């Protein structure tokens, strides 16, 4: 089906479109109403219906005769461990853990915090909660104790699943002391904690509260699947970078399963039995949607990778995994590809691997600059597809549907809106802007299945944060434009649109120019204070390995490049070369923190930052800002 036909079918009968998609799942009870717009401003899907997400992800395939098919491949570049689970094996392990948790009182509606590294037990824990109708809340493994405590106090879990440690290149991260510190400061206390003891480090268990994972499941009886309402929460996921009161995104069971199953077939072009790899982490929404639930709902094989794109051991790590497991579809963040490009600019390590199985590379999580897209396409020889979505949506708002025949890929664009998403670009007066003009990207209500119906215990905050500024629309917080052909260009966060002497400029557009310089591997632009113009842009440049030119020469060339392609209106006069860019662990660049450093303002060190030392390095070069 062509994109035009797909969208025509959805527009003709939106509710019938999603009802047909829902028919591919197993329902314990059929829904009373496909879409209830009275229950929530964003809409509630399949109200009255009952299903179980874990049943649809595992038992459904086993009962259909696909129990011997590989469900999960675990590959740890940190330990050299490789392990595979068939659908039957994974279902059985999930059922036993669910039985162990049930015996300790975990049931429908209870919350369970999961604070674990990228190991199979983390996936098993998520699915075990889903099997029981419990609500899991995954917190990125190794997250700071104070941030973990705020999430525990907000979710009020009955139990915590954790591990003794996580592994990073060159270091071991002890999780148990962080968990203990979080519980010492948290007001809410779970009834028990289950701790997976990894061989690399043994954790000391607290008597009466902590239980060893293996002892917990020993002798446990397998639990069946508990049907839940389609509108019951499957999980709570706290947005990265939150400070103070955390913002818990609620994901329901019904709309989530329907949208993810549809997206696996139509957007990613994945068939049952295909090997699909989302190179992310279960602590982020990509890991929830496309390491765990999406591939398993589709009956595909999902890769769970413990490692990095570079340094484990080199910039050929991704290609080794693709080659070893015959990966058909790879999904990662542009920042991962840029890291590979920086270490191996010519892609020479690709020669060591057979990646002939690869059909497409999908990128998301931040804007993919045209240079990175072109580099990937030239070396991999497959379509490189940028698409755009958020923690709040759970799957792509805009994409290019591989499963329905790709339309033209336009570098810099995230594709076109997918079914369920009525995307508009509005100005500050809430009026549509002309094609090519930058404005706030919004989505007309009701939202597609899987989009957040609310925030955990914060319905008023949900409406204030997402629905209040543009009545009748969901405010994405991103800025960009639609072109004459309906392609969406997501340029920056709304806060990163800078005003230079009355001209609104996108930092993403300037970054696109800087990234085209042959010596630049990665860059970021932020608006800094200027007495005359209000704000002016400043660029931060990371260089490719082996660059012969001096930093001063490259900085001057970068300034000239922006002047040539965007013009004097950008007032771009300052660029600096840095060793690294400050990022969250999910790969998002901390542009606001960069601005504060340059402007000499106090700044907080985000709990999600990958390496806090980067901020000190940059402050020593370009600014006077001090950590607050």
Q: What is the pLDDT of residue 347?
A: 96
Question: 360 or 599: whose pLDDT is higher?
Answer: 360
Q: Which residue has the tokens 């049930």?
A: 102
Domain boundary among 226, 256, 280: 226
Nearest residue to 345 (alpha-carbon basis) of 357, 356, 337: 337
Domain boundary among 173, 207, 226: 226
Half-sphere exposure of 575 (CA within 13 A, CB side): 31
Domain tally, the chain: 2
Burial annotation 389-412 (CB, 10 A radius, 16+ → b, else e)? bbbbbbbbbbbbbbbbeebeebeb
**Could you check whether the bond before residue 125 is cis, i.e. omega within 30 degrees of 0?**
no
Asked, for residue 202, whether it belongs to a domain, the answer is yes
Judge whether 176 and 196 are in contact, CB under 8 Å: no
Q: What is the pLDDT of residue 144?
A: 81
Burial annotation 126-156 (CB, 10 A radius, 16+ → b, else e)? bbbbbbbbbbbbbbbbbbbbebbbbbbbbbb
How far is C-alpha 562 from the chain's CA centre? 31
Nearest residue to 34 (alpha-carbon basis) of 230, 282, 179: 230
Tokens for 146?
Answer: 């104070």
Judge whether 311 and 301 are in contact, CB under 8 Å: no
How do residues 26-40 score in pLDDT, each as one tens digit?
A: 999 999 999 999 988
Q: How long, in residues, is the chain? A: 628
d(CA 619, CA 568): 28
Average per-residue pLDDT for the chain: 92
Question: Residue 167 maps to which CATH number?
Answer: 3.40.50.980
Counting residues of the chain whose pLDDT is more than 70, the rounded percentage is 96
CA–CA distance from 80 to each of 86, 162, 307 (Å)? 20, 21, 10
Domain boundary among 169, 193, 226: 226
Judge whether 315 and 77 are in contact, CB under 8 Å: no
- Residue 285, pLDDT > 90, answer yes
Asked, for residue 218, whether it belongs to a domain, the answer is yes
Which band of pLDDT confidence, cut at 50, 70 and 90, is reported for residue 241?
very low
- Residue 471, pLDDT > 70, answer yes
What does pTM read for this prediction? Answer: 0.86
- Residue 421, pLDDT > 60, answer yes
Which band of pLDDT confidence, cut at 50, 70 and 90, is reported for residue 495?
low
Q: What is the pLDDT of residue 243?
A: 40
Asked, for residue 535, whether it belongs to a domain, the answer is yes
d(CA 301, CA 358): 14
Half-sphere exposure of 247 (CA within 13 A, CB side): 16
- Residue 624, pLDDT > 70, answer no
Burial (0-12, 13-18, 19+ Cβ within 10 Å), 564: exposed
- Residue 499, pLDDT > 70, answer no
How do residues 507-535 score in pLDDT, each as one tens digit?
A: 877 888 899 999 999 999 988 888 777 78
Helix (H, G, I), strand (E, B) or coil at 487: coil
Judge whether 276 and 268 are in contact, CB under 8 Å: yes
Nearest residue to 568 (alpha-carbon basis) of 533, 597, 594: 533
Tokens for 293?
Answer: 């639930």
Judge whether 191 and 158 are in contact, CB under 8 Å: yes
Asked, for residue 602, whether it belongs to a domain, the answer is yes
Instruction: For residues 58-76, give the mean pLDDT.
Output: 98
Phi and psi angles of residue 587, each rounded to the nearest 5 degrees, phi first = 100, 0
How do residues 112-168 score in pLDDT, each as one tens digit?
A: 999 999 999 999 999 999 999 999 999 988 888 888 999 999 999 999 999 999 998
Instruction: Let me know how many helices (H) and strands (E) the chain has, helices first.
Output: 20, 32
Q: What is the pLDDT of residue 42?
A: 87
Phi and psi angles of residue 609, each rounded to the nearest 5 degrees, phi first = -65, 140
Asked, for residue 455, whether it belongs to a domain, the answer is no
How do residues 197-239 score in pLDDT, each as one tens digit?
A: 999 999 999 999 999 999 999 999 999 999 999 999 999 999 8
d(CA 88, CA 68): 6
Instruction: For residues 277-283, give the mean pLDDT.
Output: 95
Largest CA distance in the chain: 73
How do residues 245-272 score in pLDDT, each as one tens digit?
A: 778 999 999 999 999 999 999 999 999 9
Pairing of strands 192-196, 159-163: parallel
Q: Which residue has the tokens 């590379």?
A: 361
Judge whether 541 and 523 are in contact, CB under 8 Å: yes
Q: Which domain holds residue 90?
A: 85-226
Tokens for 244?
Answer: 């103070």
Question: Residue 602 maps to which CATH number?
Answer: 3.30.300.30
Which of 232-236, 419-423, 561-565 is predicted with the least confidence, judged by mean pLDDT? 561-565
Instruction: For residues 447-468, give the mean pLDDT.
Output: 95
d(CA 614, CA 580): 7
Judge whether 331 and 364 are in contact, CB under 8 Å: yes
Helix, strand and coil content of the chain, in percent to the nearest 5, comes to: 35, 25, 40
How far is C-alpha 368 from the chain's CA centre? 14
CA–CA distance from 586 to each of 163, 369, 449, 542 (Å)? 21, 17, 24, 18
How do residues 359-386 score in pLDDT, each as one tens digit?
A: 999 999 888 888 999 999 999 999 999 9
Burial (0-12, 13-18, 19+ Cβ within 10 Å), 495: middle
Asked, for residue 251, whether it belongs to a domain, the answer is no
In the chain, the N- to C-terminal Cα span, in Å, equals 54
**What's 450's DSSP letter?**
T
Asked, for residue 190, whether it belongs to a domain, the answer is yes
Nearest residue to 3 (alpha-carbon basis) of 266, 294, 252: 266
Asked, for residue 28, whether it belongs to a domain, the answer is no
CA–CA distance from 536 to each of 504, 529, 568, 598, 604 (Å)? 11, 7, 11, 12, 23
Q: What is the pLDDT of residue 242?
A: 37
Half-sphere exposure of 164 (CA within 13 A, CB side): 14
């Amino acid at each position: 089906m062509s994109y035009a036909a797909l969208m025509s079918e959805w527009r003709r009968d939106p509710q019938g479109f999603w009802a047909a998609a829902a028919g591919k799942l197993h329902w314990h009870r059929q829904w009373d109403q496909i879409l209830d717009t009275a229950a929530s401003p964003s809409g509630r899907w399949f109200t009255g219906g009952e299903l179980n997400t874990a049943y649809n992800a595992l038992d459904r395939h086993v009962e259909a005769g696909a129990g011997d098919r590989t469900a999960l491949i675990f590959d740890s570049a940190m330990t050299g461990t490789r392990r595979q689970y068939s659908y039957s094996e994974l279902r059985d392990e999930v059922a036993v853990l669910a039985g162990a948790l049930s015996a300790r009182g975990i049931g429908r509606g209870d919350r369970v915090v999961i604070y674990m590294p990228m190991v199979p037990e983390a996936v098993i824990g998520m699915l075990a909660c889903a099997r029981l109708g419990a609500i899991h809340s995954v917190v990125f493994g190794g997250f700071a104790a104070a941030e973990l405590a705020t999430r525990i106090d907000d979710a009020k879990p009955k139990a915590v699943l954790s591990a003794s440690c996580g592994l990073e290149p060159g270091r071991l991260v002890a999780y148990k002391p962080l968990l203990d510190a979080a519980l010492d400061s948290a007001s809410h206390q779970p009834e028990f904690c289950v701790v997976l003891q990894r061989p690399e480090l043994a954790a000391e268990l607290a008597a009466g509260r902590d239980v060893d994972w293996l002892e917990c499941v020993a002798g446990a009886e397998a639990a069946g699947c508990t049907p839940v309402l389609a509108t019951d929460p499957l999980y709570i996921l706290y947005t990265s970078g939150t400070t103070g009161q955390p913002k818990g995104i609620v994901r329901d069971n019904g709309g989530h399963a329907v949208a993810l199953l549809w997206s696996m077939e139509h957007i990613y072009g994945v068939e049952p039995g295909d090997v699909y790899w989302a190179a992310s982490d279960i602590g982020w929404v990509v890991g929830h949607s496309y390491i765990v639930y999406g591939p398993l709902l589709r009956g595909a094989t999902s890769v769970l990778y413990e490692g990095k794109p570079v340094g484990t051991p080199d910039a050929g790590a991704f290609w080794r995994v693709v080659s070893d497991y015959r990966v058909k579809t790879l999904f990662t963040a542009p920042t991962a590809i840029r890291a590979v490009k920086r270490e191996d600019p010519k892609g020479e390590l690709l020669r060591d691997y057979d990646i002939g199985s690869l059909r497409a590379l999908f990128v998301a999580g931040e804007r993919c600059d045209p240079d990175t897209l072109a580099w990937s396409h030239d070396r991999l020889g497959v379509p490189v597809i940028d698409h755009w979505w958020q923690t709040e949506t759970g799957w792509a708002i805009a994409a290019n549907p591989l499963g329905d025949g790709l339309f033209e890929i336009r570098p810099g664009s995230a594709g076109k809106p997918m079914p369920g998403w009525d995307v508009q670009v509005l100005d500050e007066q809430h009026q549509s802007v002309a094609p090519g003009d930058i404005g706030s990207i919004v989505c007309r209500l009701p939202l597609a299945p899987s989009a957040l119906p609310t925030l955990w215990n914060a319905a008023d905050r949900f409406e204030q944060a997402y629905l209040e500024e543009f009545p009748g629309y969901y405010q994405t917080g991103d800025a960009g434009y639609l072109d004459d052909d309906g392609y969406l260009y997501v340029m920056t966060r709304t806060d990163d649109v800078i005003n230079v002497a009355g001209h609104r400029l996108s930092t993403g557009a300037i970054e696109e120019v800087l990234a085209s310089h042959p010596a630049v591997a990665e860059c970021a632009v932020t608006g800094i204070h200027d007495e005359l113009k209000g704000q002016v842009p400043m660029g931060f440049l990371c260089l490719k390995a082996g660059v012969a030119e001096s930093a001063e020469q490259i900085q001057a060339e970068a300034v000239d490049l922006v002047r040539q392609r965007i013009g004097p209106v950008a007032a771009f006069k300052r660029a600096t070369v840095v060793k690294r860019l400050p990022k969250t662990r999910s790969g998002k660049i901390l542009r606001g923190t960069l601005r504060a450093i340059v402007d000499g303002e106090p700044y907080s060190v985000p709990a999600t930052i990958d390496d806090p030392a980067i901020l000190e390095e940059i402050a020593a070069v370009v600014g006077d800002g001090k950590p607050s």
